[in-house]
Homo-oligomer: A and B are copies of this chain.
Amino acid sequence: MRYQPRPGAALDDIDTPALLLDLDAFEHNLRYMATFFADKPTSLRPHAKTHKCPEIARRQLQAGAIGITCAKLGEAEVMAEAGVQDLLIANEVVGPIKVHRLASLAERANMMVAVDNPANVAALSEACQAKQATLRVLVEVDVGMGRCGIQRSEDALHLAQQVIDAPALVFQGLMGYEGHLVMRPDAEERSSGVRQAMIPLLEAAELLDKHGIATEIVSGGGTGTYDMTGTSAPMTEIQAGSYILMDTTYLRIRPEFHPALSLLTAVVSRPLPERIVTDAGMKVITKEFGWPEPIEPEGLVLQGLSEEHGKLLAQRPDQVDLSIGDRVRMIPSHCCTTMNLHDRLYVTRAGKLVDIWSIAARGRAQ
């Protein structure tokens, strides 16, 4: 039996460390992004790798998103189980075990997947045919990130033709993720980078068009570029994820969204007036994008995270009224990897617990 606070509980009744979702900020982010896309030719397909939470996905769909993006097959299985019907796995799904699982999932949900390899296309086709399932396919184009994706337009054409010839697969278009650009601090640099990144997609779409192949969908984009890719040909749908939760990294370049996610921690020790130790270390908040930022109370600087502890410096110890058990709240520097460390999201409004949402796809990396 695990301790579980009830709706209506005060923050002090939530055990720590706990991830808090501020519902006001969350709803602002939801509305802001929905409004942005309402009058654009592109649509929003939010990335669930950020939140891994079916309840958030449902609210994104209710707000007008055309479907949900997943990074992993396991995440897509959880989202389909929760009733999400239109799912893009924005990565290659390879190997016999996963290809079989994806074909099974395509029997139950409207699935779309990225490909960049002919052997994978053949395997997907065979598995889906055996189950009489239909799978929609995007050919991934490397737009400069230097990770997955085809390197030349001719390869996009060959893959598209192979997909079109495969009985159980439906060619839908292209995918290109400008992950090397989404966090560039300078907006003009990001914007000119996006124009560059669109070139291989435009070229591939043009070559496909020359061969009579329609590119219905071009999927990509992130929170750092949604207003650039979201208004650029040939993009048709944007996979932004972090906007819904936000973190200190994206807050620096995307002030139009509000910090909805924070970590509630407790002081476990104050052995010296200036040294405050919390119960939140690397196992509950990540640091690959820099230290999380303590926001409540004021006057604290994070000095380090060990596995299970945060070490804070009180710059003016006499002005920091914190005893053991008192709470410190901080904003993560990377919401996606921090969410992946937690099973529950404590949803709050005006300092009260409203609900607890399951981060059901947490850890579903397979």
Contacts and interface: CB of A to CB of B under 8 A. Distances in A.
A266 interface: yes
A3 B365 contact: no
B94 A324 contact: yes
Contact of A150 (B13, B271, B323): B271
Interface string A127-152: 00000000000000010001111110
A362 B324 CA distance: 25
Nearest to A326: B95
Nearest to A149: B271
Given A92-B324, A324-B119, A324-B120, A366 B3 contact: yes
Interface residues of A, number: 67
Interface in A118-175: 119-120, 142, 146-151
Contacts of A269: 92, 116-117, 147-149
A277 B92 CA distance: 10
A152 to B, nearest CB: 10
Contact of A324 (B117, B284, B325): B117
Interface stretch (A200-208, A228-236, A304-312): A304-312
Contact of A277 (B147, B150, B267): B147
A17 B365 contact: yes
Contacts of A283: 337, 340, 363, 365
Nearest to A339: B283
A97 B12 CA distance: 9
Interface string A287-326: 1100000000000000000111101000000000001110
A286 B341 CA distance: 12
Contacts of A225: none
A341 B363 contact: yes
A45 interface: no
A282 B337 contact: yes
B3 A277 contact: no
A336 interface: yes
Contacts of A72: 279, 308
Interface in A334-349: 336-337, 340-343
Given A179-B306, A282-B288, A365-B284, A15 B98 contact: yes
A148 B271 contact: yes
A366 B94 contact: no
B343 A3 contact: no
